[in-house]
Chain A
Amino acid sequence: MIEYLLLAPLLTSILCAFTNSRKQIETISIAGSITTLGLGLVLVYNVFRYGPIVTWENSLFADAFSAFIVLIVSLVGFVASMYSIGYMGHEFEHGIMDVKKLKLYYILYHLFMFTMLLVGVTNNLGLWIAIEMTTLVSALLMILYSRKSSIEAAWKYMVICTVGITFALFGTILTYYAAVKILGETGNALNWTSLIEVADQFDPTIMKLAFIFILIGYGTKAGLAPMHTWLPDAHSEAPTPVSALLSGVLLNCAMYGIIRFYTIATASTGDAFTSNLLIIFGLLSLGIAVPFIILQEDYKRLLAYSSVEHMGIIAIGIGFGGTFGILGAILHMFNHAMTKSLMFFAVGNVLLKHDTKEISKVSGIVKSMPVTGTMLILGGLAITGSPPFSIFISEFTILASGFSQGHVVSSVLLLLFIIMIFAGFFNHISNMAFGIPKTGIITGDMSRWTLGAMGILLVFVLFLGIYIPTFFYDMLMQVVEIVG
């Protein structure tokens, strides 16, 4: 079951390597994504209905939390591959991409999907390996355009994230050391399924040290400040469908690693230590994002800093703890993935038409690109936490938890930061969406592939803001039970 899920993107990647026409590549890609999504949904259904799956001699494993990550990866992966056909097709038609680069893009795209799925389903806390793999593959996607800025971004991404993940490896080693004392030197001593059962017996001093390294290490990858410096460069310089995957999915994979370790560390240290650290890093992330969002001039970087903000919010939610803090955080992972992808797709369309990322050189999108413009406004309201959109629900849940758990100062700060970011962010969106289009801009929306992809995401953004289906709520509560 899990093996087939991993095989799907791998085979898709290989098949792309053996084709030479744009049409064939695109067909294989979309078929591969649908297959991956289908298998992902089957896995999700089986796990939530019948319980955890363990296979490949305990190496592969899927519980409710794993399945949740698989859901996000395969869903956004599918939608982004739809968008890719429109976006990369446009680049191809305008001579920016040739068939060789197009092929390379799709090969790496599905390889990237594979690495992120691997993060979700690996039982071994050597999920370090899978997370580092995501860095390696996506760095190559980043340099598809041979621009100076892209190469600089890729190098910075590669170096900073590899250093960060090296710290995470040390945290993993310390955890293994604590585990070996209890479980003995068996191959199982690094399996989640083994660790979680005896985590309360681990040495709290060692686990505190381990968690610090994990938080700094995977926090780098998740874009938590002050380790976030690679993120605005990478997310703004990557091809836009990849930006959506980086912001919507990859950051969640790293946050997943942090949360897994949080659960283990908390079992032996108590939650005060781990929670306070998460709240501090979370608030720092929002605080740093505020000025860069307000003063931003590049709209893709604007979205990138928004991701720093939202990863901070998720960290704070876990830190607040309690059923609703964690529920809010987990829900926020999903909501942010949907909404941020939608936003990147919208600005991707803007970029195709305007050929500039400068906010001041874009205006009147609603007039020149009616559908995209509408999506941009709705997405902008959604990403900044307005009702009646999904992110409002998860942010509200986290804030309510913060106040009720007694974290009053943190909650007030969180609220203030969110309000400031709302004002700054939406000011930029308004300037882009309204007014008169710049001279020379031809009216008309982009490819239907791109609009279709955005439409799918908008359904989730709207629907989950109004009503959370019972089965989805049950899924979330299963995850909360694992984490909390």
Chain B
Amino acid sequence: MSELILGSELVQLIIALILVTTFMILSSKRLYSCVRAFSIQSLLLACVAGIVAYSTGKFDIYIVAFLTLVIKAAIIPYIFIYIINEIKVKKEVELYVNISPSLIIGGVLFVISYYLIKSIHILSELSSLSLSASMSLVSIGLFIMISRKKALMQMLGILIMENGLFLGAISLTYGMPLLVELGIFFDVLIGVLIMGILIFRINRTFESIDTDMLKTLIG
């Protein structure tokens, strides 16, 4: 049943597009572009959830799809844009790893994820593309966190990881129980707000949001 849904051409296409948005973030040097790509990614995730909801007839999943749309595709990007404008930083993404190597590493992470999922035979009854994409988003999100200098990009990396997990949950079980999903959305939203507060504090205290500055505590 789940194979039928997640294996459908439409869902496969959307998942491929989700991966494209991830690589858009890897290839972009502008904060605005990264945020916009994340918004599109979340929109696509909401579409996947919507299709799953339609196919299974489970009303809960419609709620999850709607919340994904509202919170991740609209509210959170809005918060990011607000932060970018308020703290008047350079709008460019600063890199520890340049764009070309980043894209190569992203591609490698996807291939590794794909074969990792394939090798776990128990899980292979499901659509391997959706789970591979899930693992890819988690690992690429982690890579973005360690390869980009701005605190905002670390924040975005975490959110991409969370999107990956969301896709994974949909792939495996059509999402978690509704109460848990609601709790996760709540945590993500509050987390973004608090990280936003921290970024304002970092900016005011260090006059920068480069994470290079955050290196005084060691030993």
Q: Does B70 contact A (CB under 8 A)?
A: no
Instruction: Mark the stretch among A62-70, A201-209, A344-352, A394-402 that contacts chain B.
Output: A201-209
Q: Is the CB of B177 within 8 A of A189?
A: yes
A129 in contact with B169 given A59-B179, A166-B158 (CB within 8 Å) = no
A205 in contact with B161 given A129-B180, A129-B184, A140-B194 (CB within 8 Å) = no
Chain B residues 143 to 191 lying within 8 A of chain A, measured CB to CB, are 145, 151, 154, 158, 161-162, 165, 168-169, 172-174, 176-180, 183-184, 186-187, 190-191
Q: Is the CB of B138 within 8 A of A170?
A: yes
Q: Which single residue of chain B is at the shortest CB-CB distance from A234?
A: B217
Q: Is the CB of B198 within 8 A of A154?
A: yes
Q: Which single residue of chain A is at the shortest CB-CB distance from B162?
A: A166
0/1 string, A28-59, CB within 8 A of B gives 1: 00000000000000000000000000000001
Instruction: Mark the stretch among A86-94, A143-151, A243-251, A385-393 that contacts chain B.
Output: A143-151
Bound-state CA distance A156–B198 (Å) is 10
Q: B180, B187, B201, B211: which contacts A124 (Cβ < 8 A)?
A: B180
Q: Which single residue of chain A is at the shortest CB-CB distance from B121?
A: A205
Q: Is the CB of B173 within 8 A of A146?
A: no
Q: Does B4 contact A (CB under 8 A)?
A: no
Q: Does B216 contact A (CB under 8 A)?
A: yes
Q: How many residues of B contact A (CB 8 A)?
A: 43
Q: Does A169 contact B (CB under 8 A)?
A: yes
Q: Does A133 contact B (CB under 8 A)?
A: yes
Instruction: Mark the stretch among A171-179, A306-314, A376-384 that contacts chain B.
Output: A171-179
Q: How many residues of A contact B (CB 8 A)?
A: 53
Q: A129, A155, A180, A298: which contacts B186 (Cβ < 8 A)?
A: A129
Q: Is the CB of A143 within 8 A of B178?
A: no
Q: Does A271 contact B (CB under 8 A)?
A: no
Q: B122, B151, B172, B205: which contacts A173 (Cβ < 8 A)?
A: B172
Bound-state CA distance A203–B173 (Å) is 15
A359 CB to nearest chain B CB (Å) = 12
Bound-state CA distance A20–B53 (Å) is 50
0/1 string, A128-170, CB within 8 A of B gives 1: 1100110110011001001111011111101100110010011
Q: Which single residue of chain A is at the shortest CB-CB distance from B174?
A: A185
A151 in contact with B183 given A166-B161, A190-B176 (CB within 8 Å) = no
Bound-state CA distance A177–B216 (Å) is 43
Q: Does A233 contact B (CB under 8 A)?
A: yes
0/1 string, B185-218, CB within 8 A of A gives 1: 0110011001101100110011000010111110
Q: Does B142 contact A (CB under 8 A)?
A: yes
Q: Is the CB of A140 within 8 A of B219?
A: no
0/1 string, A293-324, CB within 8 A of B gives 1: 00111100100000000000000000000000
Bound-state CA distance A298–B217 (Å) is 11
0/1 string, A97-116, CB within 8 A of B gives 1: 00000000000000000000
Q: What are 25 sample pairs from A and B whose C-beta atoms fall under 8 A apart?
A: A124-B177, A126-B177, A132-B191, A135-B191, A136-B191, A139-B198, A140-B197, A143-B198, A146-B205, A151-B198, A158-B198, A159-B145, A162-B191, A166-B162, A170-B165, A172-B176, A173-B173, A176-B173, A177-B173, A185-B173, A187-B177, A187-B178, A189-B177, A190-B180, A232-B217
Which 8 pairs show the lowest CB-CB distances between chains A and B? A129-B183, A126-B180, A177-B172, A152-B214, A132-B187, A233-B217, A187-B177, A173-B169
